[in-house]
Every structure is written in structure tokens, then in C-alpha cells.
Amino acid sequence: MSDVVAQGLDPSNPNLRFLEEVSRRTAGVSRLEMCIQCGTCGGSCPSSADMDHTPRMLFAMIRAGMREEALQSNTPWICVSCYHCVVRCPQDVHIADVMYTLKSMAIHAKLYRDSTPPHFSQTFVDMVEKYGRSYEFGLATRHYLKHFPLRLPGMAPMGLGMLTRKRIELKPRRIRGIQQLHAILERAKEVEENE
């Protein structure tokens, strides 16, 4: 990315509205603009060691209009939705939901760097949209073959164990109202696009 400082100084830069956009796209009232950069979130985070940026840093980048850098960060993908930061944040920022928003925006803009997490989410969503239920067998086989072929031999006993314990079903279950669900999701997607 080009000179970020120069970008930040340009008032016509649409990225200056990035904070507003993230906030608007978040499901509840994000309160992201209320962040006081105290760092409580990063200090509470069990997986911050694996993150490119702590949540606090990420929120500073969002405020600075660093759109591409923020959407490329692995942080939202490493977030495990533990909500530790959420209950500790002095400003009640809906941190975990902001992470979800950033993921969806990164998918939309194709800015994620590791395709494993978004493909997993998308595969899960595909199954749910098709059947109305999650379908773990289909999800696991598609996902592991594509992203973790090397993990498969080690996983085989577990897969077998899941079967012998009746903890995984080979066939998907489909809800009766699948047409209704399709109609609802179609409309929801239109509403989302027109936003």
C-alpha cells in the first residue's frame, strides 16, 4: 500500500469513513468510535500471540482509515469469540461483533491473506443454505481435503471414532421448510446488497 500518512491527510480519501462503515455494518450498536485505546482487549485476549495486530491496534488502524491493512490483518480470523475483551472493555465496544464485520468485509473485498478460515466459513454456510442444518461430514471432508490433506492420516482414527460412536452422520438432514428458508435468505441477501 502507498504512503498511508499522506493518505490520511487527504480529506477526500473515502477510507477516512472506514470507521463509520465498519460501525454501520455491525449488527448491534458497535460503539467502535468510543474506543479509548486502553488496551484492555489485547491484554485479555487468549489468542493475541497469534494475531498480526491486537484488537486495540486494529481499532486504531480502522480509525486512521487504513482500510486495506485492517482488512488484511489476520486478527479477526484468529479471534475465537471468547468475549473476554467484550465484558472487560470500559467503553462497551462490541469487539467480537466488529471482528465478524471485518471478516465479512474482508471476504467481500477478497482481502484475506489465508484462505483457510474464509473457505471454512463459506463451506459451512453452503451446507446450511442447502439443507437448513449443518452437515459436519460434508463440511469436514471438503474442508480437510482442501486445506489440511496432511492432517488427514492423523485424523483418520478420530473420524472413525466419530462414526463408531455415532457422533457424525453420513447423510445430511434437510429441514421441511427449505424453500421457505431459501426465500428468506434470498431476500436477506438483496437487503444486504442494497445497503
Candidate list 4, 8, 69, 100; residue touching another protein; CB under 8 A: 100
Phi, psi of 137 (to 5 degrees): -65, -50
User: CB of residue 51 vs another protein: minimum separation in angstroms?
Assistant: 10
List the interface residues with another protein, window 44-63 (CB under 8 A): 46-47, 50
User: CB of residue 4 vs another protein: minimum separation in angstroms?
Assistant: 20
Closer residue to another protein (CB): 10 or 108: 108
User: CB of residue 183 vs another protein: minimum separation in angstroms?
Assistant: 4
d(C-alpha 29, C-alpha 34), whole Å: 11
Q: Is 110 in the site for another protein (CB under 8 A)?
A: yes
Q: State the distance between the two ends of the chain, measured CA to CA, in whole angstroms.
A: 28
Q: Is 123 in the site for ligand SF4 (CB under 6 A)?
A: no
Closer residue to another protein (CB): 13 or 104: 104
